[in-house]
Amino acid sequence: MERIRTIFASMIIITLLMMGMALMPAETQAQDKTVELGYVNWAGTVAETQVAKVVLEDMMDYNVETTMVGVGPIYAALAEGDIDAFMGVWLPQTHRSYIEKYKDEIIKTGPNYKGAKIGLVVPEYVDIDSVEELNEHRDKFEGRITGIEPGAGVMEATREGIEEYGLDFDLLTSSGAAMTGSLEKAIQNEEWIVVTGWRPHYKFAKFDLKFLEDPKNVYGAKENVYTFHNPQLAQDHPEVVSFFHDFRMTTDEVAEVMAWIEDGMEAEKAAGKWVEENKQKAQGWTDPVVVSE
């Protein structure tokens, strides 16, 4: 009898909750199921953010809004709650300074994928193998390292590398797309060029490239890429935090989505194609995390 009363009471509670949701204005309900994802315009971050968006919307019934932000401001926006999550945090080296600054205001999940790498990259035909050899061939490189956005971790590491190796080179700021464009143009003319690079990136599938050896370990070892979220997200949508906790792609899978986007497919369509082809894996990210006591 007691068990029947308990079940009956639970049914009443669930019914009342459902009635409350039904009476809630549609606009409020939509807001309650909205997640704000920030991203930096890096090919890998765009790819994984779009994959997450597709899964959250199609499999978890969320409305996902995405906002492109610069690499420095995105951490401030995350800490202040202007965005809920950012999926492009490279650790332990590349974004260390940002995490040290905001570590008390944001929370880590993941990693989203492992084995990422940053460093200086040259075409395979360039006849050097180490950062230490750059000064010997300064004229062939026109004394320039082609970089990306000034606040990016690989740019910070390169500024340190110029000091550590005593490089007589200027570091040019641009964007990921502009850097790749300069690289492609140089390769077409078989010119020497050195760029700030990272993997996964579609340029490694498109061109024959190599990382220059870094004997002083300025760029660190291989890294992992994490999601960080604002603490309020765990209060409002714990199932979304659970999703980010379980989200995993390999570097090859991320590169596959990146390549489709580079070939002209819209980012969200490329992500949708990948999710459709990997539905079972994506579905596994939506199961709640079970925390053992």
User: Per-residue pLDDT tens for 11-47?
Assistant: 433 343 344 444 544 444 445 889 999 999 988 999 9
Question: In this predicted model, which residue has the larger pLDDT, 205 or 87?
Answer: 87
pLDDT for the residue numbered 59: 97
Characterise 82 by phi-psi region: left (phi > 0), alpha (psi -120 to 50), beta (else).
Answer: alpha
d(CA 284, CA 254): 17
What share of the chain in percent tops pLDDT 70? 87
- What CATH architecture is 117-211? 3-Layer(aba) Sandwich (3.40)
pLDDT for the residue numbered 10: 35
List the chain domain ranges: 34-116+223-285, 117-211
d(CA 43, CA 48): 9
pLDDT for the residue numbered 151: 87
d(CA 17, CA 20): 5
- The answer, yes or no, to whether the previous bond of 25 is cis (omega within 30 of 0) is no
**Mean pLDDT on 222-229:** 95
pLDDT for the residue numbered 261: 94
Characterise 144 by phi-psi region: left (phi > 0), alpha (psi -120 to 50), beta (else).
Answer: beta
Question: In this predicted model, which residue has the larger pLDDT, 252 or 292?
Answer: 252
Query: CB–CB of 237/36 below 8 Å?
Result: no
Query: CB–CB of 171/145 below 8 Å?
Result: yes
pLDDT for the residue numbered 1: 43
Are 34-116+223-285 and 117-211 in the same CATH fold?
yes
- What CATH architecture is 34-116+223-285? 3-Layer(aba) Sandwich (3.40)
Question: In this predicted model, which residue has the larger pLDDT, 61 or 9?
Answer: 61
Question: In this predicted model, which residue has the larger pLDDT, 293 or 249?
Answer: 249
Say if strands 107-123 and 209-211 run parallel, antiparallel, or are unpaired. antiparallel
Residue 93's pLDDT band (boundaries 50, 70, 90)? confident
Rounded alpha-carbon distances, angstroms, from residue 48 to 43, 108, 146, 250? 9, 16, 25, 11
Residue 205's pLDDT band (boundaries 50, 70, 90)? confident
d(CA 123, CA 242): 41
